[in-house]
Structure formats: structure tokens, C-alpha cells
A and B are shown apart, each in its own frame.
Chain A
Amino acid sequence: MPHHPLRAVRARRGLLSLLVPLLASLAWAEDAADTSALPEPWRSALRFEFNRASEEFARLHAEDPADARLALGRAASLLARQPRTQANVLAARALLERIATSGSASVDQAIAARLFLGRLAESHLSPPRPEEARERYDALLRDHAGHLLADQAAVHLALLTAFPGPGDDALPPDEVRSRIDALRERVGTPSARRELHALQARLLLQRGLDQEALPHLVAARAVGYRQPDHNANADLTIGNIARTTGDAALALSHYRAFLRERPRDARATTVRRYIAELEAAESTAPAVASTR
């Protein structure tokens, strides 16, 4: 029986000084932010222990093949486990097909399975099958537009349109633009709208159409990002374009937002200079007007 020093200390001394930090954080190791609170196999899966998770999912799925949740977890684990093989991807696809078509799965699970089938065709099968992916995404969007996961199909469709594969013919830029606009009209979730606006903006900037990219950037930023620094970078992009296209008020508000988020950024002094220049221009403009 290994000797547990903490137990010994508690039993023999009961030191208040030790208990202060202990009491402050007694249940910490079991907190919700920690994956230790999760049951297996999700705990292993979210800790990147894919092979262990895969084996446990396989066991649970074998015990209850009708449980769509376990089948989805099993399929996900097959995509992640090492070595990555075509057989695993095909096995995952078979599981997802069953979830998508079985009556026992919930609507959400069926939608998730259908989105995954598109993802498998686009990025997991070798060679990739972009046409099949397009068809699956399009059908999913047609059937369930407005659902968080179905709207992601629109994002993937837009990406396939914007960045064709090396052997594919690229569409004319204006055609790409109108297709992405059309996709955006079909989605209802803010995150999908944000991605479609951001993609449109990126393509327009690539073409040097900064002024036309600006409303898309503003719309994407209004939804906001969850990744660190993304909001600040978006603010800086908007600020710079607004400044060069003459919208001082918009530039100032986004420059200030950037500084609030990233005051120690290596670009902060430059941004402060831009703000000072814009403010100076603003303060002289009415003066000029008043002298007229």
C-alpha cells in the first residue's frame, strides 16, 4: 500500500496553513473545464488518445448498435485513430450512412452524419471526391438550411467554389462571388454567415477590391470570433481599409477596438499613429468648414 503523504499530513497534523490552499481548490481536479469529468471513451478522445477511445467506442457500439450517439463517436474515432487507413474511413462512412438513414437517430444526429459524409468525401477518402461532397452538402443544405450543422455545408460548398482543386477549372471571379452570396442567402446561423462574409471579403481583397470587401468584413466582425486574436485582427483589417477608403469614423472605432484587445501588440504604436492622424484630420475639417 503506497504511503500517501497528503493523507498522512492531514491525519497527523491537520495544518491550517496547508488546508487553506486545499480548501480553496478542493475539487479542482474534477472541474468541468477538465476532461477528467467526462466518462470514457470521450475523456480519452478529447485528450487525443484516439486509439484507446476507438477501442472503447467499438466495445460500446457493439453492445448497443442502435445507439446513434455511440455510432457517431465510433465513426469519429475511426477517423482519428492511428494508423490512418482507408479501411477505417470506409468503416466510418458505413456507420454514418446507417445513422443518416436509420429511423432511430434524432434529426440532429442524422444531420451530423450527413455533414460528416460530405466531409469524408471531401477530405478523408483517398482520392478525395469533391463532386460527391458537393452533392451531399447541397442536399443537406436544401433539406435543413438554418440548422447549425447544415449551414456548415454551405461554408464547405463556398470553400470548394472559391478554391478549386489543382486539376479543376476555376470559375470566373464574379461567378464565385455571386455563388457565395447566394449561399449566404440560404443560411440562418450567425457563424455560417460570418464565415461566408469572411470568405467573400478574402476573395475580394485578393482582387484588390478593398472597398467592396469592407461591408463583408464588418458583417463578419459583427458576429465575432471565438479564437483569440481573430477579433483584433479583423478590427485592424477593417480599420485599415476604412482609413484608406475615407471612412474615418469606422476606422477609428475599429482601431480603438483593436487597441483595447491588443494594447501590447507590435502594431499598436502604428495604430495609435493612425488614430492620431485621423483625429487630427477630423478636428481640422470643421475648422476649415467654419472659415468658409
Chain B
Amino acid sequence: MENNRHRNALGFAIILLFFGYSIWHVLLRPAARDDDERVTLRIGHWLMHAGMRESFEEAAREYERLHPGVRVEQIAVPIRSWSAWVRTQLIGGTAPDLTGQLHLDEEILSRHFIPLDERLDLPNPYNEGSPLAGIPWRDTFTDGLAAVRNLNPNSGELTGVYLQLNSLRLFYNKRLLRLVTGSEEPPATYAQLRALRDQVDRYNAAHGTLLEPVAGCGPYSQYFFQRLLPSQTQRLAPTISPMRNLQVPLPDFAGLILEGRLDYRTPELRDSLALLRDVSALMSPGFTQLRRDDALFSFLQQHAVAIVAGTWDYAVFVRDGDFETGVIPIPLPDRDDPMFGHNVLGVVAEGGGGPEGMLGVVRTSRHPDLALDFLRFLTSHRVASRFTELSKRISSVHEVPAPSDSPALAPQLEGEAPGFNIDFQNLGAGHTFTLFQRHLHTLIGPQGGVEPFLAAFERDLATTLRRDLATHIARAERDTRNLDARIGFVLSLPDGFADPEELERLLEVRTLRHTEHLRHRRAVQP
């Protein structure tokens, strides 16, 4: 009884303590802020990699100097908590004025973020005196923000802009490379990269070390394979591209397999598997079970000569690595590659890179005008250049050079069109991708091989492809129905709000999504 009373008292005390803290947090802290009579502009993001918070901090302080009545406060949230945090803030109406848009879908973006379309047609005033002066803000981004618009196919709105572009690179430890190969010259081709395995083995045997050629982990190896394997379908893609545009969309690839017009015995697909097996030899056994931090730790601890990682990781290597880091584009098989060159058209272009650091102005912001102004400031040529130097990342803004110490981080725009990947990542609900991953161990490793993998993978392939296609067409059908409703809303708008162009756009998108639904539905049937 006595113990129970003590436990209850302790429980109440803890609750009271937290309640008191909450009161202080909600009531007193904002009051303290208001005392300095400045407007507080808050920016919430997940970008906690090395250099990012520092970059935001420096930009914020400079903006405050330009606008003494404004205080900029950044709220950096760990990426693991980001999804839950941002949704809670948006729904609760407490999201920062500028909020990151990672993991947010179109409905949330449209509901909680102000469209920027009209403002993007105007020049960014902070670009005065730069090479981008007078250019519409939208056109100061490398892809004209097409990546943002693609996120909102139904509403067609531009609800944010992004700060950076991500790519994949091979980072190497110059000291270790010199020890192992006798030179700091990094591998220029896939064949040279592949030779690193034997060179490291010889070095380990001679020196009793346990070096690995490349530090690998589950997620980064996926990125690695996705960059590498399209080299093998480069020649095939134009010949089977349904719209003759050098691309083979995943649902069409699935359809070709289900119709029996293509299979994994096709030489190019088989060679893709062989290449995946071959490159896996560069990483330690069991790499698929490791996480990003494991791989980074291994590289930073100098247990691996190189690592395939994102351009977003470079600042970590510079800051935490006790060695000089070199950086090169991923060495891909070229046409002269003795094993994989016959499928190659040329070095595969990587396009402009993936958008990163997407930010928008929330509808609940008390200072949407200031938030917009700060966003323009952040994406101006001068601030973006400084951001790039500090964060060691590639800017999304035109004419902003790569960090001065690592020009190799810049996207590799020159190169032949890539082929397609063969693991069906991102198709439907991911059943086929899971199947691929589940049997990957039969492909890689000393005991693995293409035949054992195919024997296991092809057993359930048709079933998982149909399930993924069913999800794909169900999404298209749902979009079509929602677009029907949206068209109804636009048709019913009061006088003075009619928007014929928007109506035409919606009709076009509906036909597109409806076609996507209809043309694959037969393939779902066994």
C-alpha cells in the first residue's frame, strides 16, 4: 500500500513536472521572444547533415543584418522523426513559416502550403547584380522546377522550391588508395574499379590488414546498383521503348514480361544481374544488412579504401575524416569493358540530379510575405553559392558552381541516355522489388550466381508483377476519380473565378491517368 502511494505520488510529480514545462514552453518562451520586438521567422527542416545547419545559420544571420526587424530561427528535426513531426505540426497549425516538404504527398502540400506560381514568374530581387538578374525566379532553378510540379500532378501547383541537387559519387581515401595501388589516381573505368578487389586482397595478404575496397550498406548499395545497371540496358531500351522516347516505364517493363515478350534470360537483363553480382564483390559479405551509418563509419575509420555515397555525405568526410578524401563520378562500364562493354552505348548521363531541401511557405504562417522573401534570399545566386561552399553540396540554382574543392560533385550531364533498372523498385506496392531483394543473396557472394537467383526469383515473378500492376492501376483509377471531382469543382466555380486553362489542364491530366489505368488492366488478369 505504502509503495503504491509513493509510486502514485512519483507519477503525479512527473506529470506535474512535464505540465509545468509545457506551460513554460508554450506561454513564457514566446513572450520572451516578443520582448525583443522582432518578427520571428521559423524554418523547419530535416537537413542535419554536416554543413547544413551551419549554412542555414549563416544565411539567417545575414538576413537579419539586412532586415533588423526580423529574427530567423531554424528548427532542425532528425530525419527519423521528420514524417511524424511535420504532419503533427501541419495539422496542428503550428508548422514553421518555412517548412520542409520531405515525405509529404500532394494532398498535404496543397492543403497546407501556399502555391508560389505567380511569384515564381517574377525575378528574384536578391539576384540583382548576379548572372541571374532579371530572370524569372522559376527559371533560376536548373530544371525550371519541373520536379516540384511533378509532385502535384492533380493541382498543378508549385508549392515549394528546392535548395540542392543530389547525386551519387565514389569517395576515396587518397592515403589508402596510394598504399594499395601505389598511386593516388582513382579508377577511371569500371574495369579499374573492379581490379581494386584483387589489389586490396594482395595488400591485405602482404600486410595482415582487413581493408575492404568499398564500404557498402543496404541503402547505398541500392543507389550504386541503380546507377550501374542501366549501363547494361542502354542498347535495349530504345528498341523496346513503348513511346520511342528512349525510356521504358516500369509498368510497361512489367507488361512486356507478363506478355512473354521479355524475360530475365534476355542477354541484357542477364548481364545486368551478372554486373550486380560482379560489383558486389567489392563490398564486404553481408553488406546488404548494414545501414548507412555503418558504411560511413567503416570509411571514416579507414577500414575501406572507398565508399559509394551521396553528394550529401561529402561534408561529413571532409569534417570527420582524418585523411584526404577524393571524389569522382561512379566509374561505369565503358564500351571497351571486357565483360560488360558490349551492352554499352557510352558513359551513362546522370541527368540533373535529385531535388533535395524542398521548402514551402505554410498557409498558417503569420508572416507569409517575409517567409517568401527569405526563401528568395536563400535561393539567390549569392546565398546559394555560399550555401554550397559551406554544405559541400550541389546547388539547385543555375550558375552556382560546385564547391571549389570538389568540382567532381557537379552533375555529370554529358553521357548517353541510361537504360532501365531491372529490380522494379517503385513499381506498385513493391512486391517485385521485395522479391528481388529476398533472393539477392542467391545472386551475390561466393556461393551465388545468376542461375540460382533466377530459379528462385522467376518462380513468383508473374504473381508479384500482377500484384504491383494492380496497385499501380488502382492508384491511377483513384487519381482519375479525384480528377473527376476536381473538374466538377472547377466547373462549378462562381462567376469571376472560372479558369478555362485550368479546366483544360485537368482534362488532360485525367485522360493521362485514365489511360494509364485502362491500358494495364488486362495485364493484371492471370
Contacts and interface: CB of A to CB of B under 8 A. Distances in A.
* A and B interact: yes
Interface of A: 3-6, 8-9, 12-13, 15, 17-18, 20-22, 24-26, 28-29, 31-39, 42, 45-50, 53, 69-70, 72-73, 75-77, 79-80, 84, 109, 112, 116, 119, 123-124, 148-149, 152, 155-156, 159-160, 162-163, 165-166, 191, 195, 199, 202, 205-206, 210, 225-229, 233, 236-237, 240-241, 264-270, 273
Contact of B118 (A6, A32, A240, A270): A32
Interface in B115-148: 115, 117-119, 125, 142-143, 146
Contact of B372 (A12, A28, A37, A76): A28
A80 B482 contact: yes
Given A206-B242, A237-B244, A72 B488 contact: yes
17 contacts: A5-B40, A8-B34, A9-B37, A22-B369, A24-B373, A29-B369, A36-B114, A53-B489, A76-B485, A76-B488, A76-B492, A202-B243, A202-B515, A237-B243, A240-B238, A266-B348, A269-B417
Contacts, number: 244
A76 B40 CA distance: 41
Interface stretch (B64-72, B171-179, B301-309): B64-72
A284 B317 CA distance: 53
Interface stretch (B215-223, B382-390, B457-465, B516-524): B516-524
Contact of A48 (B107, B247, B414, B491): B107
A78 to B, nearest CB: 8
Contacts of B102: none
Interface stretch (B78-86, B199-207, B282-290, B493-501): B493-501
Interface stretch (B12-20, B321-329, B502-510): B502-510
B70 to A, nearest CB: 6
Contact of B244 (A17, A20, A148, A240): A240
Nearest to B108: A48
Contacts of B247: 267
Contacts of B509: 227
Given A28-B372, A42-B493, A77-B489, 8 more contacts: A39-B494, A72-B488, A79-B485, A123-B480, A202-B242, A241-B244, A266-B415, A267-B349
Interface in B243-281: 243-247
A25 B119 contact: yes
Chain A residues touching B, majority SS: helix
Q: Chain B interface: which size bin? A: 35 or more
B481 A79 contact: yes
Contact of A267 (B67, B125, B417, B484): B417
Contact of B512 (A72, A227, A264): A227
Interface string B357-395: 000000100111110110000000000000000000000
Nearest to B367: A6
Contacts of B155: 46, 48
Given A123-B477, A155-B511, A265-B351, A6 B115 contact: no
Contacts of A191: 504, 507-508
A160 B38 CA distance: 61
